[in-house]
Structure 1
Amino acid sequence: MIRKERKKGPVWEHYITKSRCNDSHPPVQCKYCLKDFKRAVPERMQSHLDKKCSEAPDHAKSQSKQQLKINNFSDRVSENEQNSFEILPLAEAPDIRYLGNCCQHEIIEIKAFEFYKKEAEKGHIDSIYNFGECYYNGIGTEKNETKAFELYKEAADKGHISSLYDLGYCYQHGIGTEKSEIKAFESYYKSVVKKSDNIDSMYNLGECYYYGIGTEKNEIKAFELYEVAAKKGHIISLYDLGYCYQYGIGTEINEIKAFESYKKAAEKGYIKSIHYFGCCYNYGIGTEINEVKAFKLYKKSAEKGYIKSINSLGYCHQHGIGTKINEFEAFKLYKEAAEKGQIHSIHNLGYCFQHGIGTAKNEIKAFELYKEAAEKGHIISIQNLGYCYQQGIGTAKNEIITFELYKEAAEKGYIEPTYNLGYCYQHGIGTEKNETKAFEFYKEVAGKGHIDSINYLGYCYQHGIGTEKNEVKAVELYKEAAEKGYFRSVHNLGYCYQNGIGIEKNEVKAFELYKEASEKGYIEPTYNLGYCYQHGIGTEKNEIKAFKLYKTAAEKGHIISKYDLGCCYNYGIGTEINETKAFELYKEAAEKGHIISKYDLGKCYQHGIGTEINENKAFKLYKEAAEKGYIEPTYNLGYCYQHGIGTEKSEINAFELYNEAAEKGHIISKYDLGYCYQYGIGTEKNETKAFELYKEAAEKGYIIAVYDLGHCYQYGLGTEINTVKANELYKKYAELESYTLI
């Protein structure tokens, strides 16, 4: 009997046929979750889409029962077979084996089961196998995987090759028997040896070699089997072959061949390959980058329900890859894929909530999503979760958990968290400070090309952090990172040129590097460029440009720029004097912890600059800044104690603070300390020490000290009388005083 080609129902659109054989029930694979079915049974295929496949799109879901019956009938019975059942009398029925086959293709499958049973009992090998299929798929009987396994084994032992494949599958997955990967491997191996065109067994044997299932891992053999199966038309093997070529698994890396293999499998409708075919165009793997084609391929596989592509499509919309930027669409796609459990999308959705991309900013949701993805093993999410704990994003700050999460991610070999772990050791975040370990981690990932680490490794060499100081190496590393476009290193290299660190001083080069980094929007060099213009470093002095650059950096939150901008307003540098703005900027920077700003803010309160006089606030700010070891506020604090400004008068405290600042080289403190010794303020009178301190301060150019030193020589205070020297000093004082008045 000649059969017409079967007319397949809609359910088949959602499955990939894995074999070229003419079997009416070939092995298939779900396009969405990639679940394998050894034998295509439309009811089971539709049931899988309806109830089990979480990734199946809505259009793949069940139609009406009546329509399903029609689809199933047309799937299984050719027109001639249907006619045969209508016209053949029982006496003229064909061989019972054929009749069993016909019954199986009818809706009533019980008869098929009975026919296969009878024939199997007579020892017919094909029927033993088909009898096993009935038990495996629940055709005409209740599903019984144990009986199915026994029948596959019986048929396989009698040399039935298809049964060898099914037997291997049962052993591999523990279906109807105990799981035994060794026996699974042996069955697949026998199937391939006995029938070289059994491409399903070939593919599965390749999988065994690839993953080390029941045998030693052997990527070369895996590749060879994928290659043979692919040439014989096995679609998944075509995809795996592409993967092997892309990453050099069992063969040399060959991105062109990878591209070709992905293309062939994609053209045959394999969704996973459509996605990776898009990746090739996106990243230029084996072909020129073509973001438009990449976008179209992602869209095609996304529309077929492939979740990875839904995520990739979202990424394209977020970053404008092959399409216009559309953050709302990106967010929507990430959400869709995340709800289906796609781990990268869960992370990306968290990122959207963290930064307000396509949705309102919600750090609590961001934290929860990072946590969800991290618990599923997503490394970047583990790192981002650590960052949330470090910065208190969507949760309470916890540096110990931060450190543990960075460590967990770093142990999996990922570069970014390894760098972050080094940062924790450098700054003592969630662990004891250990600069040696920090240096080692930076060195490890710098060797892998991590630009941040190359920069920080240079910083370690520059400042001797965890290693011996080596400014030459520091410059080399800054140069390496700068050449790769890392603008923090461009800035650091500029700083080295400005100050002659590890390289010959070159202020022009420093200025150029600051300018280059500043033009890319990096804040630190914008500030330094302003500093160069203010002081004429590597360029002509230009206070107006300095003011503008400080303003630009300050508006981006750069604290030191806020302070210097305040100074510009206070002293009229590049702009008109505006003491109110100066006060506001000092206050803003001081509240961010900038110590010098606290000192200048204190002066504003002491002298009523841009605000009302408030000596108590002035004293408090001087004290805060002095406690951080800064010289200038230490002197001012002493002055407050001496004169009772914002605090009770205490000449002893004043003397001690002048002494502390003087020892650190503060010239005015040297003079005031001399004054204390001369008049016995907070200490015993000691004119010799007073003379020495006046002399030291005068030699450093402090004008009042020049006059008081002359006074000491005139009256023999702490030294012998010397009117000549006294007159010389008075004359010098007069000249300096008149100069300062011009």
Structure 2
Amino acid sequence: MALLGVLVRRLSPSAALRRGNRLFDQARAADAFALFVRAAKAGSAEARYRVGRCYLEGAGVPPSRVEAMRWLESAAELGCVAAQWLLALQHAHGGCAAPDRLAGALFTDGAVGNPDFAAAEKWARRAAEAGSPDGQAVLGFLLTCGPEQMRNPEEGWLWYKRSADAGCPQGALGYAQSLAQAAQDEKDQRLIVAYLRRAAEAGLPAAICMLGVMTERGTGTSRDEVAAAQLYRTAAEKGHHVAQARWGMALLEGRGVARNPDEAETWLRRAGLAGEPTAAALVAELYSGHGKLPANFAEAAIWLRRAAEAGHRTAGRRLGRLHLSGAGVPRDPDEAAHWLRLSAEAGDRLAQTDLANLVLTGAGGKPEDLVAVRQQFQDAAASGDLMAACNLGVCLAEGIGARRDERQAVAWLRRAARAIPVAQYWYGRMLADGRGVPADAIEGRTWIARAAAIGVVDAQVALAEMMVSGSGGPRDHPAAKALFERAAARGHAGAMYALGALHNGGYAVAADPKAAQRWFLAAAERGHPQAQMLLGWYLARGVAGERDIPMARKWLKQAADQGLPEAARQLAPLS
């Protein structure tokens, strides 16, 4: 070391730089760094650039972004073009990383740190105008992908082309992407592929992935799913998130490669964790019982949330539906509405319908949702959409998002009833109740029966109730019981309560207190207040042979909490 110190002091700045470069190439970075510093302090712009790179890479000295930027800026001010483009790259990405990594990162899909785009453009322009292909590529990137106020796509494309024609892979990729925005025919597509191949051969993952897409589609080149899959795999192994997602999809679907769902899940998971929304949505699909993986709705919900938060249009709808059903997540209409709203605002038509239907139930809606939903239905109904006409009729009948107008409601429901079973049910209800039209229980029962026959569960319950009371036609308690049972099998709490009432006695159905109690319990567990009260009464008196005061108190209290005064009166003696 002492001898080296003597040599360093005796060497001229240019000789110190040359020897430092040789030592660096021999992996003697610490010795090279001392020589670089000697030449840099003597005013060598190139030596200052080399000192800056050493600090940037931690070569022969502990890494330091502050020292790296100080030495690089000093070299750049003295006209060192390599320092200028490297400074531009550092400022564009806002992080301290080695040039070989950052150069390939211009077109990555990863997040950057805290970029300083103004400084990046300043140094990129100096390097570009001095003839640096790398600087020209960085300037092209800033002018096409930088902040809105900085963008000048036409100028950016020109710098990309200069860079590409000088042999810079980043320039070739940037120019290919620019051409893709304006391609008009097969000749343009072939030119894009030619530039992409240059960049892909240099190992740029974004170019490899984009070339894979064009190869898979047969755009500008021969269609070849096998070659495309291998391109995706190569880019995926280099860490490109979109390529990881596409390689995962190829494995999942067996496109150009043997189908392998387990390996597909690994790659899709990796891409999803990195923020690729399509991959996250596909992982959710794998856990939703639609693939070879066991169904796991809790896991599916986690991935749907990732996808929705990253902007996937349909993931919010699927997550909202999970919150509506309570599969894998707590049942929460408000949370369901939140995710459905995100997908609806992104243009997902099914989410718009789901949100509208949720709002119609009175659950999970905001005041502004009510108005927006009614307007959405009105616009669609006016253009001939009969489902929208049905929903608009319901809004007008119930005063949802607009002033109640039963006459207009009947008009829209009558129009929709020609083809929409739910509209037949609602139109029948309006006729039977005389809302917006003279009461006609017979005609109303006819329309409700049509909807019930098609399977509308609310219509089945309404028709059964009319059969019990004899409204609009003959009484038929056994037929009503059959309809209630069909609706109860589909989870309708009101039908369960009605079955309990039928079995309680007083109808043309054999009284069966135990069956009545079972049906009251089923309805009570679904929040039906009258069922809760009657279940409490049964348990308090042992009507079905079972007396249970603590449980009676529980169900009577729940009914009282829902606003039934009679339940509160029955509860008082038991407290």
Range of TM-score over shorter length: 0.5 to 0.7
Distance 1:173 1:620, change over 3 A: closer
* Mapped contact 1:126–1:160 kept (Cα < 8 A): yes
Q: C-alpha separation between the residues in 1 aligned to 2:325 and 2:350?
A: 17
Give the equivalent residue in structure 2 for 1:587: 485
2:387–2:420 Cα contact (<8 Å) kept: no
Measured in 1, the distance between the counterparts of 2:267 and 2:207 equals 20
Shift of 1:595: 8.5
Match of 1:116 in 2: 36
- Matched with 2:62 is 142
Corresponding residue of 1:652:
none
Map of 1:107-256 to 2, 5 A cutoff? 107-173=27-93, 180-195=116-131, 198-213=132-147, 216-246=150-180, 248=181, 251=182
Q: Is the 8 A contact 2:500 2:517 kept in 1?
A: no
Task: Tell me the TM-score normalized by structure 2.
Answer: 0.59
Offset, 1:412: 5.7
Tell me: CA distance 1:280–1:390, structure 2 relative to 1, closer, same or farther (3 Å): farther
When residues 217 and 338 of structure 1 are mapped into structure 2, their CA distance, relative to the original with a 3 A threshold, is closer
Q: Which residue, out of 329, 332, 340, partners 1:395?
A: 329
Residue 189 of structure 1 and its aligned partner are, at CA, apart by 0.8
Max Rg structure: 1
Asked which structure has the greater RCO (Cα within 8 Å, sep 6+), the reply is 2
Alignment of 1:216-615 (within 5 A): 216-246=150-180, 248=181, 251=182, 257=188, 260-262=191-193, 263-264=196-197, 265-282=199-216, 291=225, 294-302=228-236, 306-319=240-253, 321-322=255-256, 327-328=261-262, 330-335=264-269, 337-338=271-272, 342-374=276-308, 380-411=314-345, 417-418=351-352, 420-431=354-365, 436-441=371-376, 456-457=387-388, 587-592=485-490, 593=492, 613-614=510-511
Q: 2: distance between equivalents of 1:255 and 1:562?
A: 60
Contact kept? 1:212, 1:218, Cα under 8 Å = no
Q: 1:171 to 1:278 in 2, by over 3 A?
A: closer
Q: Residues 460 and 296 of structure 1: is their aligned pair in 2 closer, same or farther, counting only changes over 3 Å?
A: farther
Q: Distance in 2 between matches of 1:153 and 1:403?
A: 53
Q: 1:254 to 1:233 in 2, by over 3 A?
A: farther
> For 2:278 and 2:145, how far apart are their aligned partners in 1?
24
What is the total number of aligned residue pairs between the two structures? 438
CA distance in structure 2 between the aligned counterparts of 1:361 and 1:192, rounded to whole angstroms: 55
Question: In the superposition, relative to structure 1, how do residues 350 and 129 fare at CA in structure 2: closer, same or farther (>3 Å)?
Answer: same
Aligned counterparts of 1:608 and 1:327: Cα–Cα separation in 2:
58
Describe the shift of the 1:227–1:377 C-alpha distance in structure 2 as closer, same or farther (beyond 3 A).
same
Matched to 1:403, the amino acid is: A
1:694-715 deviation line (CA, Å, top 9, x unaligned): xxxxxxxxxxxxxxxxxxxxxx
Residue equivalent to 2:464: none
Contact map agreement 1:443 1:454 (CA 8 A) in 2 = no
In structure 2, relative to structure 1, the CA distance for the partners of 1:186 and 1:432 (3 Å cut) is: closer
Q: Deviations over 1:208-250 (max 9, x none)?
A: 222335952223333333333233333334333343444x3xx
Against the structure 1 CA distance between its residues 341 and 174, is the aligned structure 2 distance closer, same or farther, given a 3 Å change threshold?
closer
Distance between the aligned counterparts of 2:263 and 2:42, measured in 1? Answer: 63
**CA contact under 8 A between 2:317 and 2:343: conserved in structure 1?**
yes
Structure-2 change in CA distance of 1:237 and 1:412 (3 Å): farther
The AA in structure 1 aligned to 2:122 is E
State how far apart, in whole Å, the 1-side matches of 2:142 and 2:95 are.
17
Calculate the aligned-residue CA RMSD, in Å.
Answer: 5.4
> Bigger shift: 592-601 or 157-166?
592-601
Q: Is the 8 A contact 1:172 1:181 kept in 2?
A: yes
Amino acid at match of 2:294: A
Question: Please, which runs of 5 or more residues in structure 1 have no aligned partner?
Answer: 1-89, 448-452, 479-491, 500-534, 536-549, 564-579, 624-742
Query: CA–CA distance in 2 between the matches of 1:342 and 1:382?
Result: 15
Q: Distance in 2 between matches of 1:367 and 1:615?
A: 43
Percent of pairs with identical residues? 19
Give, as a single letter, the amino acid of the residue that structure 2 aligns with 1:349: V
- Cα–Cα, structure 1 residues 324 and 256, in superposed 2: closer, same or farther, change >3 Å? farther
Instruction: Kindly provide the amino acid, as one letter, of the partner of residue 99 in structure 1.
Output: R
Per-residue CA deviation, residues 153-198 of structure 1 (Å, 9 max, x unaligned), is: 232222222222123334445579x964322211111111122xx1
CA-CA distance at 1:279 after TM superposition? 2.8
Give the 3 Å change call, closer, same or farther, for CA 278–106 of structure 1 in structure 2.
Answer: closer
Q: How far, CA to CA, are the matches of 1:242 and 1:410 in structure 2?
A: 34
Secondary structure, in 3 states, of the residue corresponding to 2:150? Answer: coil
Letter of the 2:126 counterpart: K
Structure 1 residues 443 and 245: CA distance shift in structure 2, 3 A: farther
Q: Is the Cα–Cα contact under 8 Å of residues 140 and 174 in structure 2 kept in the other structure?
A: no
Cα distance in 2, alignment partners of residues 333 and 172 from structure 1? 29
In structure 2, do the counterparts of structure 1 residues 471 and 288 end up closer, same or farther at CA, with 3 Å as the change threshold?
Answer: farther
Residue 428 of structure 2: aligned partner: none
| Residue segments in structure 2 that go unaligned for 5+ positions in a row | 1-9, 97-113, 403-407, 425-449, 462-477, 521-575
Indicate conservation of the 8 Å contact 2:272/2:306, yes or no: no
Q: Residue 397 of structure 1 aligns to a residue in which SS?
A: coil
Q: Distance in 2 between matches of 1:325 and 1:179?
A: 42
Query: What is the deviation of 1:359?
Result: 1.5
Q: How far apart are 1:616 and its partner, in Å?
A: 7.3
Please state how far the C-alpha of 1:134 moved relative to its aligned partner. 2.8
Letter in 1 for 2:123: S
Deviation at 1:142, TM superposition (A): 3.2
Cα deviation code 1:624-657 (max 9, x no counterpart): xxxxxxxxxxxxxxxxxxxxxxxxxxxxxxxxxx
Give the TM-score, by structure 1 length.
Answer: 0.47
Distance (Å, rounded) in 2 between the aligned partners of 1:359 and 1:130: 53
Distance 1:349 1:233 in 2: 40
Letter in 1 for 2:22: C
Q: Secondary structure at the match of 1:437?
A: helix
CA contact (8 A) 1:256 1:286 kept: yes
AA at the equivalent of 1:182: A
